[in-house]
Amino acid sequence: MQFNKVTDSVVAELRTLLGDANVLIDEEKIEMYSKDEVSDKLWEKMPEVVVKPENAQQVSEVVKLANRELIPITPRGAGSGLAAGAVPLQGGIVLSLEKMNQILDVDTENLFMVCEPGVTTGDVQKTAKEHGLLYAGDPCSADSSFIGGNVATNAGGNKAVKYGVTSRHIYGLEIVMPDGEIVTFGGKNVKDVTGYDIVHLMVGSEGTLGIVTKVWLKLMPLPKYVADLLIPFADMQTAIKVVPKIMTAGIIPTCLEFMDSLSIKSAEMYLNKKLPYGDAGAYVICEVDGTSETQVQDDYETIGKLALENGALEVFVADNMSTQERIWKSRKCYAEAIRMISPVYCMEDIVVPVSNIPKAIEAIERIAAKYECKIPSAGHAGDGNIHCTIMREDRDDHAWHELKYAVLDELYEEVYALGGNLSGEHGIGAKRAQAMDKHMTDAQRKVLVTIKKALDPNGIMNPGKVLVG
């Protein structure tokens, strides 16, 4: 696709549309919009201009201008993505949703929240809780990520085992389409088959089919009782083999996470304190919740018993908030801990059918040994979703480049052989677009490209993301 540059007259027009304060071109001000959390120069690029619209109408005007002038437009949330999805790799306009950050409605009769895309996931969770309700989307980055970014990537997170990924909670979207039209699909009807399910086509499309400007989120009653289990194991294989057993024990845990020994050690270093059984080979972390104390107790006792019968060293039960927070801190700091130890890294997000989780972990360990590198793993075991991170450590540019691609090639082959896929929740962005393209069939590619071309004939919406440019 041949795009045009952002000219002075385009900048002037943007200033007229949005006001001077909402149009940035100074290098020091726009530098932070040139990257996300991928941590790789390859996936960084300075925008030509950054705009901060304050409402859907302004988003629409910017998109119309970009479409008319054939200028690429990259929508951006909090920039906490891990796939370079919000990086303007083909230049043009970065459209930041940071100023559209209002919660518009908390409807306690219908259990809905309506908000703008720039509200942080953490604020959504907190506001729901203040009303005695649960927003069940819970990515580890909740404190910083925007709900719009969660929608764009169909973020998963910790509670997806029981409550599902972000798409499960999204019942309506206002979208600015690539031609600038503002359109709403869905809303507060919990069942609705009136027309195609455009809402869920948009969820996970990473800003390549339109820009979300309003979100209808389903809330649910806050579970009255919650308990968390921290279960250390002597080694990773023993730990991970318990996961499919828990998932077929007749209970749906709210969360079912794991951390390998490298991740535990990294968390200890990052948090600067000893964790219980910090020298364990692996942790399994499990949460159960419900409306009845007895049920929650029954459930965690069933899981605890199963774990002990299958090689757990110990089962710690946390049924109060402060102990629960301590358990989760070690798991939720995974990304930050790794970043501290190896500021350059390559974080992957593979997913396999749950029964193949032990084989996937075996494959990661085999690859790490073969290439003599560190690949700490942690993640959402109950969903078959593994975050495994290749650490650069002290390798030079060339060695790191070689290592990274060799490991990724081999890892992806193993994942596909196990019936898995590239990304469970972080998305494809630019980082995985080539790999996805390689593993798609022609028939799959044709469907995706047909939809992209039909809705965005000029290809201005986040080009090069999801589909190769």
154-193 binders of a copy of itself (CB under 8 A): 154, 156, 160, 164-165, 167-168, 177, 181-185, 187-193
Q: What is the DSSP track for 182-212?
A: EEEEE-S-SS--SS--HHHHHTTSTTSS-EE
User: Given the complex with a copy of itself, which of 181 and 397 has the nearer CB atom?
Assistant: 181
User: Given the complex with a copy of itself, which of 266 and 356 has the nearer CB atom?
Assistant: 356
Asked if 352 is part of the footprint of a copy of itself (rule: CB under 8 A), the reply reads yes
User: Given the complex with a copy of itself, which of 37 and 48 has the nearer CB atom?
Assistant: 37
Select from 25, 46, 406, 451 the one that contacts a copy of itself (CB under 8 A).
451
Asked if 317 is part of the footprint of a copy of itself (rule: CB under 8 A), the reply reads no
Among the listed residues 151, 146, 6, the one whose alpha carbon sits nearest the alpha carbon of residue 70 = 6
Give the CB-side neighbour count of residue 243, counting CA atoms within 13 A: 34
Across-strand partners of 231? Answer: 284
Distance of CA 266 to the CA centre of its chain: 21
Cβ at position 305, least distance to a copy of itself in Å: 14
User: Given the complex with a copy of itself, which of 169 and 392 has the nearer CB atom?
Assistant: 169
Q: What is the DSSP track for 204-229?
A: TSTTSS-EEEEEEEE-EEPPSEEEEE
Buried-state track 88-123, b at ≥16 Cβ within 10 A, e below 16? bbbbbbbbbbbbbbebeebeeeebbbbbbbbbbbbb
Cβ at position 121, least distance to a copy of itself in Å: 16
One-letter amino acid of 161: V
Cβ at position 260, least distance to a copy of itself in Å: 19
Q: Which stretch binds a copy of itself (CB under 8 A): 7-15, 214-222, 254-262, 318-326?
A: 214-222
Helix ranges (H only) for 333-441 are 334-341, 357-370, 397-417, 433-439
Select from 75, 148, 207, 384 the one that contacts a copy of itself (CB under 8 A).
384
Q: CA angle, 60 as apex, 54 and 66 as ends, to 5°?
A: 110
Asked if 459 is part of the footprint of a copy of itself (rule: CB under 8 A), the reply reads no
Asked if 47 is part of the footprint of a copy of itself (rule: CB under 8 A), the reply reads no
Asked if 420 is part of the footprint of a copy of itself (rule: CB under 8 A), the reply reads yes
Q: CA angle, 269 as apex, 268 and 274 as ends, to 5°?
A: 35
Asked if 323 is part of the footprint of a copy of itself (rule: CB under 8 A), the reply reads no
Q: Which stretch binds a copy of itself (CB under 8 A): 135-143, 295-303, 334-342, 358-366?
A: 295-303
State the DSSP H helix or E strand holding residue 8, giving kind and residue range, or none if neither. helix 8-18
Q: Which stretch binds a copy of itself (CB under 8 A): 1-9, 263-271, 324-332, 433-441?
A: 433-441
Question: How many residues make contact with a copy of itself (CB under 8 A)?
Answer: 91
Both tokens of 374, joined, read 């560190």
Q: Which stretch binds a copy of itself (CB under 8 A): 27-35, 74-82, 352-360, 367-375?
A: 352-360
